[in-house]
């Protein structure tokens, strides 16, 4: 049970079309998420870090089918053998009816209508900014109770009872039921958003930068709450953030994204101690250390993140990478396990090993 994989993401792609010209035809694509393969274990908190615009949020939203993937597969709570079978069939015999059947039965991205509705109960999200994710004209009881209404699970006094129960879980009380979102502070609003996500008893929650809009002291409280809820509800988290110190504190495993690709995945301790990918290294080195004796006088990472419309060929980091070798500009490095589940996509690192 401990190491059971809950979520398989296989070569997931999400491209946004850029429309142009007289007929508004597709002229280019923003490759927001490009061939991401990822596994998330049951009960863990998977941290996803990267700069703004690297596709973290898009990945999170695509995983729970809020955005339709362009390509790739999502397997939620599917046994390992079946996942392997589908992938094997895909390469061997992509047109077989068996594959079609299997995909229809197991792939999350094939689900629609009632089946998707059912899945949505298990997959929830908490957004970055609670001021925009909560309807200002709805009362707290309606906001938090709405998922129950949509899914036709409970109504009347039963719904009310459930709303109060979940509000108490997130540190609010019955008194708050008949209030509007604007009457709350930022931290409390985020608690309402969390309550709404949790009322359906989900198994997997995407936390999309949930602490970036609150003060430092409130941030600490929210992080405590997430830890607590994870135990109480047996949740699995995908924690998307650009704040490395927060991710380091809360996550079990961390993935580093750069320009739509995952470049390094490892357990938190391992990743922060033994960073391998040059980008991850540069990213971690950029975080200011609150200790003047440890000042970094060397020059920081140069240049800017290239446009995801036309990413560099080969390794996407190679134009900014100080260790880049010949092969980096030609071939895309695969994500390779270098031991202890530490995955890294870098030619230089894997050549050395």
Partner 1 sequence: MSSFDEYILSIQGLILRFYTYEGIVEALDGVNLNIKPAEILGLVGETGCGKSVTSLSILNLVPPPGRIEGGEITLREGEKTINILEQHEDFLRKIRGNLISMIFQEPRAYLNPVFTVEEQLGEVLVQHRLGELLNSTIQKIDMELEKADKLKRHLLMLHKKLCLKMLKNPRSLSVRVASKIPLVNGFKSKLRMEIRKKVVELLKDMEIPDPQRVARMYPHELSGGMAQRVVIAMALACNPKLLIADEPTTNLDVTVQAQILHLIRVLREKYKSSILYITHDLGVVAELCDRVAVMYAGNVVELADVYEIFKNPLHPYTRALLESIPRPGKEFKSIPGTVPSLINPPSGCRFHDRCQFAMEICNKVKPKFIEVGKDHYVACHLFGGGK
Q: Which residues of 63-93 are buried (b: 16+ CB within 10 A; e: fewer)?
A: bbbebebbebbbbbbbeeeebeebeebbeee
Q: How far apart are CA 348 and CA 353, in angstroms?
A: 9
User: Helices then strands (H, E): number in the chain?
Assistant: 13, 11
The secondary structure element, H or E, covering residue 220 is helix 216-233
Shortest Å, Cβ 268 to partner 1: 8
- How would you label 247-261 residue by residue, b for 16+ Cβ within 10 Å and e otherwise? bbebbbbbbbbbbbb
Our CB check for partner 1 shows the closer of 170 and 283 to be 283
Gap between the Cα atoms of 161 and 293, Å rounded: 55
Q: Cα separation of 168 and 191, whole Å?
A: 10
Nearer Cβ to partner 1, position 51 or 85?
51
**Closest to partner 1 by CB, 112 or 274:** 274
CB nearer to partner 1: pick between 80 and 269: 269
CB atoms within 10 A of CB 298: 6
- Residue 221 vs 350, nearer CB to partner 1: 221
User: CB of 88: closest distance to partner 1 in angstroms?
Assistant: 40
**Helix-helix angle 216-233:186-198, to 10 degrees:** 20
Give the shortest CB-64-to-partner 1 separation in angstroms: 25
Under 8 Å between Cβ of 38 and 204: no
Q: How far is the CB of 166 from partner 1 (least distance, A)?
A: 25
Is the Cα torsion angle 323, 288, 58, 121 positive or negative in sign? positive
> d(Cα 103, Cα 234) in Å, to the nearest integer?
28
Nearer to partner 1, 39 or 57 (CB): 57
> Could you tell me the smallest distance in angstroms from the CB atom of residue 289 to partner 1?
6
Q: Looking at beta carbons only, is 97 or 293 nearer to partner 1?
A: 293
Q: What are phi and psi of 40, to 5 degrees?
A: -125, 130
Nearest-approach distance from CB 298 to partner 1, in angstroms: 9
Smallest separation, CB 222 to partner 1 (Å):
11
DSSP code, position 196: H
To partner 1, the closest distance from the beta carbon of 56 in angstroms equals 12
Neighbours of 170 (CB within 10 A): 21
**Category of 68 on φ-ψ map: left (φ > 0), alpha (ψ -120 to 50) or beta:** beta
CB of 333 to partner 1, least distance (A): 20
Q: Which is nearer to partner 1, 124 or 251 (CB)?
A: 251
What residues make contact with partner 1 under the rule CB under 8 A? 51-52, 215-217, 220-221, 223-224, 242, 244-246, 248-249, 272, 282-283, 285-296, 299-304
Closer residue to partner 1, CB minimum distance, 45 or 200: 45
């Amino acid at each position: 049970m401990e190491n059971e994989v809950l979520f398989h993401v296989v070569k997931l792609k999400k491209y946004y079309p850029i429309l142009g010209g007289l007929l508004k035809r597709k002229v280019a694509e923003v490759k927001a998420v490009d061939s991401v393969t990822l596994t998330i274990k049951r009960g863990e908190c998977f941290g996803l870090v990267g700069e703004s615009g690297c596709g973290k949020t898009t990945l999170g939203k695509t995983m729970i089918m809020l955005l339709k993937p362009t390509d790739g597969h999502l397997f939620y709570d599917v046994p390992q053998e079946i996942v392997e079978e589908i992938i094997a069939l895909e390469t061997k015999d992509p047109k077989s009816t068996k594959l079609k059947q299997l995909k229809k039965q197991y792939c999350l991205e094939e689900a629609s209508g009632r089946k998707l509705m059912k899945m949505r109960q298990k997959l929830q999200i908490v957004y970055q900014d609670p001021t925009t994710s909560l309807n200002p004209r709805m009362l707290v009881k309606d906001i938090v109770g709405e998922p129950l209404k949509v899914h036709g699970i409970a109504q009347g006094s039963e719904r009310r009872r459930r709303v109060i129960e979940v509000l108490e879980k997130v540190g609010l009380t019955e008194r708050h039921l008949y209030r509007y979102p604007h009457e709350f502070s930022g931290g409390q609003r985020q608690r309402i958003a969390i309550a709404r996500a949790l009322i359906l008893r989900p198994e997997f929650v995407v936390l999309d930068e949930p602490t970036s809009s609150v003060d430092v002291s409130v941030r600490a409280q929210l992080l405590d709450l997430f830890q607590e809820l994870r135990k109480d509800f047996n949740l699995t988290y995908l924690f998307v953030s650009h704040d490395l110190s927060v991710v380091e504190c809360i996550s079990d495993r961390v993935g580093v994204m750069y320009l739509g690709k995952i470049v390094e995945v490892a357990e938190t301790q391992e990743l922060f101690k033994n960073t391998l990918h040059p980008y991850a290294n540069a990213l971690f080195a950029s975080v200011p250390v609150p200790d003047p004796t440890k000042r970094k006088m060397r020059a920081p990472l140069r240049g800017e993140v290239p446009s995801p419309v036309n990413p560099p060929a080969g390794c996407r980091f190679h134009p900014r990478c100080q260790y880049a070798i010949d092969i980096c500009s030609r071939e895309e490095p695969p994500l390779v396990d270098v031991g202890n589940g530490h995955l890294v996509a870098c030619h230089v690192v894997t050549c050395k090993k």
